[in-house]
């Protein structure tokens, strides 16, 4: 393990009195809104175990009433390469991930950077359930009742500056807990990113649960992104850092194979993956394949974000 000696610590890594004061003010504010939120019966200040029922979850907007994919499939057919590349690997091996204590670093162009215990990061916000379609780039899909917080509400608390044009998300890097990171299938840690308007869009969710319960490890505990109009690889799991950037972040799959996986990754039946068609998909649990919808069926809400862009070029 690399331990930093004082001489190795850059001055930029030392908290200035100003940042310290700002952070105290931020926490006071969070604590106040958090207390109000708790009285109103909202998010949690204590660590919760996998499978534990999440309290006071309110139904949120934008949900689909299509049939939900059974919990067994949602939790046993996964992509989480940190635990292996087979769909069944995450359910078998993700128990080695320790999700408490968990810290989220907020960095880059914002007024309130810092390291926040997950409970403080989430506390002031109300939990909502949103039943979303998730369409994987591999042409299968599921319908999942997520529990989470609109990402935009959360990000606003950190006050992104006008230089924040994008938001980058980073997964935990720890090959002992995530043995799949010992093999070079991807350039670890897994990274994803959104344009700031995509991150702030009311559909975008930071999920902490599904089916009313705390997220199972294989689904990205304790905190993952859910962007329902984009291919599933944008929905990064087990997030430890959120970074406001001016430049478009380099993302794991686009870095691994830029001709096959774009930064935007909007679900688009008109743009085939170079090795297979995206026109249809197999809903897990169904026999016949169904038509894939532009933006995964969320075009009414999000198509406007891309007006004027050639979506064949920005795939």
Phi-psi region of 239 (alpha: psi -120 to 50; beta: other; left: phi over 0): beta
Nearer of residues 160 and 232 to ligand MTE, judged by Cβ: 232
Report the candidate in 102, 101, 104, 73 with the shortest Cα–Cα distance to residue 218: 73
Q: Other CB atoms closer than 10 Å to residue 205's CB: what's the count?
A: 25
Dihedral sign computed on CA atoms, order 282, 87, 143, 249: negative
CB of 296 to ligand MTE, least distance (A): 12
If you search the block for the tokens 């999000």, which residue do you land on? Answer: 302
Using omega within 30 degrees of 0 as the cis cutoff, is the peptide bond preceding 298 cis? Answer: no
Q: Tell me the closest approach of the beta carbon of residue 276 to ligand MTE, in angstroms.
A: 14
What would the two tokens of residue 188 be? 């670890």
Closest distance to ligand MTE from the beta carbon of 272 (Å): 17
- For the bound state, the minimum distance from the C-beta of residue 222 to ligand MTE, rounded and expressed in Å, comes to 13
- Binding-site ranges for ligand MTE (CB under 6 A): 78-82, 134, 136, 171, 190, 219-220, 232-233, 235-238
Q: Select 123 or 194, whichever has its Cβ closest to ligand MTE.
A: 194
Taking the CA atoms of the chain, what radius of gyration do you get in angstroms? 19
CB of 235 to ligand MTE, least distance (A): 5
Give least dist CB 3 to ligand MTE, A. 26
Report the nearest approach of ligand MTE to the CB of residue 90 (Å). Answer: 7
- Residue 78 Cβ vs ligand MTE, minimum distance, rounded to whole Å: 3
- Token digits of residue 168: 């980058």
Helices (H), the chain: 17-39, 71-76, 89-93, 118-122, 151-156, 196-200, 252-256, 299-302
Number of residue whose CB is nearest ligand MTE = 232
Rank residues 89 and 124 by Cβ distance to ligand MTE and give the closer one: 89
Instruction: Rank residues 118 and 123 by Cβ distance to ligand MTE and give the closer one.
Output: 118
Which residues are 148's β-sheet partners? Answer: 128, 207
Give the pairing of strands 280-283 and 239-245: unpaired
**In the complex with ligand MTE, which residue's Cβ is closer, 26 or 190?**
190
- When the beta carbons of 26 and 231 are compared against ligand MTE, the nearer one is 231
Q: Can you read off the two tokens belonging to residue 107?
A: 């960095």
Closer residue to ligand MTE (CB): 125 or 237: 237
Task: Tell me how far apart the alpha carbons of residues 107 and 153 are, in angstroms, rounded to a whole number.
Answer: 17
Neighbours of 8 (CB within 10 A): 9
DSSP letter, residue 6: G
Min dist. Cβ of residue 187 to ligand MTE (A): 12
CA distance 35 to 13: 31
Q: Which of 26, 261 has the CB closer to ligand MTE?
A: 261
The answer to whether the CB of 182 falls within 8 A of the CB of 174 is no
Cβ closer to ligand MTE: 133 or 201? 133
């Amino acid at each position: 393990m690399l331990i930093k000696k004082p001489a190795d610590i850059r001055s930029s890594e030392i908290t200035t009195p100003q940042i310290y004061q700002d952070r105290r003010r931020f926490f006071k504010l969070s604590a106040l809104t958090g207390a109000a939120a708790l009285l109103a019966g909202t998010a949690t200040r204590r660590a919760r175990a996998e499978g534990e029922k999440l309290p006071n979850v309110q139904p949120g907007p934008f949900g689909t009433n299509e049939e939900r994919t059974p919990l067994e499939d949602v939790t046993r057919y996964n992509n989480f390469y940190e635990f292996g590349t087979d769909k069944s690997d995450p359910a078998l091996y993700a128990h080695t991930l320790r999700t408490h204590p968990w810290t989220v670093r907020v960095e880059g162009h914002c007024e309130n950077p810092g390291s926040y215990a997950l409970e403080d990061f989430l506390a002031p916000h109300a939990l909502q359930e949103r039943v979303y379609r998730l369409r994987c780039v591999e042409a299968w899909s599921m319908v999942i009742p997520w529990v989470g917080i609109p990402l935009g509400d959360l990000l606003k608390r950190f006050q992104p500056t006008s230089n924040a044009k994008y938001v980058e998300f980073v997964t935990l890097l720890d090959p002992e807990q995530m043995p799949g990171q010992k093999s070079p299938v991807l350039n670890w840690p897994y990274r994803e990113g959104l344009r700031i308007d995509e991150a702030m869009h009311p559909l975008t969710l930071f999920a902490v649960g599904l089916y009313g319960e705390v997220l199972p490890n294989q689904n990205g505990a304790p905190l993952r992104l859910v962007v329902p109009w984009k291919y599933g690889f944008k929905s990064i799991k087990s997030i430890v850092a959120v970074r406001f950037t001016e430049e478009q972040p380099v993302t794991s799959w686009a870095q691994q194979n830029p001709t096959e996986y774009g930064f935007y990754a909007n679900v688009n039946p008109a743009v085939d993956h170079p090795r297979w068609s995206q026109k249809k998909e197999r809903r897990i649990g169904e026999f016949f394949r169904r038509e894939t919808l532009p933006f995964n069926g969320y075009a009414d809400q999000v198509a406007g974000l891309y007006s004027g862009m050639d979506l064949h070029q920005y795939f």
